[in-house]
Structures are given as structure tokens and as C-alpha cells.
Amino acid sequence: MSDDQKEMGTLVMYILLRKDLQTSLKWPIGALCSQAAHAATACLWSFKDDPDVVSYMKDMDSMHKITLAVEDEDMLKSLAAKLESEKVQHKVWIEDNMPVCIAIKPQPRSPLKPLLSRLQLYK
């Protein structure tokens, strides 16, 4: 970890994935993994020149990602709107014309805690 990272905390990429895709819509686990991978890749590419992303990618063997469960499409849309209003850079991944996942640009954890604290780890 660089001195800059130690000073500001470990950089983390949050993935917010709809749980109803697995439970109600019966998507296979492989499809869910693909959606998370698409969102993460698109987010990293979208913000590839951002200093936090550059720093995050320099230490690829120690990347931190946390996948959190979001109840359904309405909750995902609500979270996307909240992230927009708080100016948190992210990428909403759309599959089959519906939002399925959000990847948040790598950044220190602490500023995101108030926005994400009620979400559980995806299991």
C-alpha cells in the first residue's frame, strides 16, 4: 500500500447487486457473477484516469471489493439516485434493459459508510 493510501485509508470498490435476481427471478449464480464483473470493469474503465483508480490498480494483488445485497430494482434505483445526489462516482450496470448492479469507484470506506451501512454482505 502506498503512503498516500495509508494516509487516507484502504481503497475499496463496492459492488451493489440485486438479491431478487437470484431469489425471485432465479438467475444462476454464474450470471450474477458476470453482472458484478461487468459493473466493476465498466466502472474502472469509466474512471481510469482518476487518482484513486490509478492507485487501486497499481496494487492489483491487494484489491479490496465488497459485494452488498440490494433488495430489488426499486432499491437499486433509489441508491443510484442517492449516490448521484452525494456526488459519489459509480456505474449502474444495465442488463436486458434493467439495472442489475452498481459498482462504486474505488475510494476510502469511511465516506461511504453512512450511505451503505444498512446493506448486508451478499450471500
Tens of pLDDT along 56-101? 999 889 999 999 999 999 999 999 999 999 999 999 999 999 999 9
Amino acid at 76: L
CB 109 within 8 Å of CB 8: no
Question: CA angle at residue 81 from 12 to 53, to 5 degrees?
Answer: 25
What number is the average pLDDT over the span 8-23? 94
pLDDT of res. 59: 87
3-state DSSP assignment of residue 12: strand
Chain-centre distance for alpha carbon 87:
14
Under the banding of pLDDT at 50, 70 and 90, the label for residue 3 is: very low
pLDDT of res. 9: 78
Report in angstroms the alpha-carbon separations of 48 from 22, 72, 82, 83.
30, 29, 23, 19
What pTM did the predictor assign? 0.91
Domain boundaries, the chain: 3-121
Topology of domain 3-121, CATH? Bit1 (3.40.1490)
Report in angstroms the alpha-carbon separations of 61 from 48, 112, 121.
18, 23, 22
- For residue 110, what are the contacts with CB-CB under 8 A and spacing of at least 6? 9
